[in-house]
Amino acid sequence: MSDTPIPFDPAAAGWKSLRPEGYPALIGPFWYKREEGGFRYGFPAEPRHMNNGGVVHGGMLMSFADDVLGMTVWEAGGRKPCTTVQLSTQFVSPARPGDFVEGRAEVLRTTRTLVFVRGLITIGDRTVLHADGIWKILGA
């Protein structure tokens, strides 16, 4: 018997893979799961996501947070094109290889052209990153 943990299999747990395109295809794949009140997103932390300290690189976590908040805005805004105007992040704890990193977000306020959103990146019940952002609805 091995002491090596069995990696989390998102597909076996009911997660669906997002179709990777552009930049997310380089750092993903990302996964999603519909739940009451919206969506949950995730990715398995791989060695390619690590920094020299052996934890998930902050840029990777920020990219994931940007996608999680952006996908939330896109869904809430009727799937209209949108772009990040501002994204603030606070790193709370590290993610390590083998962790399944999850993200959730909620829209706080919507105007005709802007959406204010916040989110959490977690591993289980542990917060990894907190994010707040503003997105612009393009063409509005």
Does some domain include residue 58? yes
What confidence score (pLDDT) does residue 38 get? 87
Q: For the chain, how many structural domains are there in total?
A: 1
What confidence score (pLDDT) does residue 76 get? 86
Does some domain include residue 11? no
Does some domain include residue 61? yes
- Domain, as residue range, for 60: 16-137
What confidence score (pLDDT) does residue 21 get? 86
pTM recorded for the entire structure: 0.92
What confidence score (pLDDT) does residue 6 get? 62
What are the pLDDT tens digits along the chain (140 aa)? 445 556 789 999 999 999 878 998 899 999 999 988 889 999 999 999 999 999 999 999 999 999 999 999 998 888 999 999 999 999 999 999 999 999 999 999 999 999 999 999 999 999 999 999 999 999 86
Q: At 31, which CATH number?
A: 3.10.129.10
DSSP the chain: ---SPPPP-TTTTT-EE----HHHHHH---EEEEETTEEEEEEE--GGGB-TTSSB-HHHHHHHHHHHHHHHHHHHTTS--EEEEEEEEEE-S---TT-EEEEEEEEEEE-SSEEEEEEEEEETTEEEEEEEEEEEETT-
